[in-house]
């Protein structure tokens, strides 16, 4: 199988490495904006060849992974209009990606099986790619009515070959779930660091920040452009999550006058988290 990877970053590079390791692909062509990054991808054996654009890369490919920032998806899909290859993606949001694909692929939309590998990291680029990134991680497919069972099965097999656990759900549901457990926490972490960094005594504040702050804010070291696109495309769900969270903060604020009630909330949160950790 020949693979084309559009955007050879953490996700795209790891997909290529994982499929090579699983001997599920024989040849990988990469496309990307950063020359240094592509050079590194070639040196690391992530890609075997580099193509000047997505159309050229997809020419002989059986499978194309689109793993660029989501804002570029529409123009990438346009370049893939004439290809015959099956297409999947690594976008963190699905409704907007599907809308872009429908617009650009037209009647060829059945060739696109949307996917979201839930395996981000605060690192990015080909340098961070790893054959094991998806091992044991979830990949959510949000198949379209136009996808043939065969196309879905083939894309599913590719992600499964990376070691991922595959789920399927509608794109709507995907974006709502991810807004709650991924997009909102990222916004909160970015917001907290920005707040601390903007204070007059920010240097002092950071110097007394410890392990709790470090872990809480780890995701604030994520890729700004990628998160800009996620926020823009999932705006309605983000606004809902921000509203729900503000209501929860009002509840916590009120409980500052009710120590027993506050302790109960803390204990319930701890129990829920510990249960989750044990089961995962």
Return the range that interacts with a copy of itself (CB under 8 A); candidates 34-42, 53-61, 74-82, 272-280.
272-280
Q: How far is CA 11 from the centre of its chain?
A: 8
Return the range that interacts with a copy of itself (CB under 8 A); candidates 12-20, 49-57, 103-111, 265-273.
265-273
Q: How far is the CB of 14 from a copy of itself (least distance, A)?
A: 14
Identify which of residues 49 and 191 has a Cβ nearer to a copy of itself in the complex.
191
Identify which of residues 45 and 206 has a Cβ nearer to a copy of itself in the complex.
206
Cβ atoms 110, 137 nearer than 8 A: no
If binding is defined by CB under 8 A, does position 253 make contact with a copy of itself? Answer: yes
If binding is defined by CB under 8 A, does position 103 make contact with a copy of itself? Answer: no
Task: Write a three-state SS string for 54-111.
Answer: HHHHHCCCCEEEECCCHHHHHHHHHHCCCCCCEEEECCCCCHHHHHHHHHHHHHHHHH
Q: Which of 79, 42, 87 is nearest to 62 (CA)?
A: 87
Residues 155-184 that bind a copy of itself (CB under 8 A): 167, 177-178, 180-182, 184
The set of residues, in sequence order, having a beta carbon less than 8 Å from that of 42 and lying 6+ positions away, is: 30, 48, 50
Residues 184-243 that bind a copy of itself (CB under 8 A): 184-197, 199, 201-202, 204-222, 224-225, 227-229, 231-232, 235, 238-239, 242
């Amino acid at each position: 199988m020949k693979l084309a990877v559009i955007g050879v970053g953490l996700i795209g590079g790891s997909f290529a490495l994982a499929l090579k390791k699983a001997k599920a692909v024989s040849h990988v062509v990469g496309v990307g904006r950063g020359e240094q990054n592509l050079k590194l991808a070639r040196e690391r054996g992530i890609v075997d060849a580099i193509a000047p654009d997505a159309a050229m890369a997809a020419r002989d490919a059986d499978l194309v992974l689109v793993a660029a920032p989501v804002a570029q998806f529409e123009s990438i899909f346009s370049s893939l209009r004439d290809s015959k290859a099956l297409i999947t993606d690594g976008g963190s949001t699905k409704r907007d990606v599907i809308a872009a694909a429908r617009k650009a692929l037209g009647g060829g939309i059945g060739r696109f099986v949307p996917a979201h590998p839930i395996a981000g990291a605060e690192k990015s680029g080909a340098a961070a790619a790893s054959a094991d990134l998806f091992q044991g991680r979830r990949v959510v497919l949000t198949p379209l009515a136009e996808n043939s069972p065969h196309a879905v099965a083939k894309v599913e097999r590719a992600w499964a070959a990376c070691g991922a656990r595959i789920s399927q759900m509608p794109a709507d549901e995907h974006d709502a779930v991810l807004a709650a457990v991924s997009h909102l926490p990222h916004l909160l972490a970015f917001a907290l660091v920005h707040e601390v960094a903007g204070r007059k005594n920010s240097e002092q504040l950071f110097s007394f920040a410890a392990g709790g702050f470090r872990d809480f804010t780890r995701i604030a070291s994520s890729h700004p452009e990628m998160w800009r696109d996620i926020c823009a495309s999932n705006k309605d769900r983000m606004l809902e999550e921000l509203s729900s969270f503000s209501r929860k903060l009002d509840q916590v604020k009120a409980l500052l006058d009710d120590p027993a009630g506050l302790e109960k909330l803390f204990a319930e949160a701890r129990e829920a988290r510990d249960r989750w950790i044990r089961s995962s």
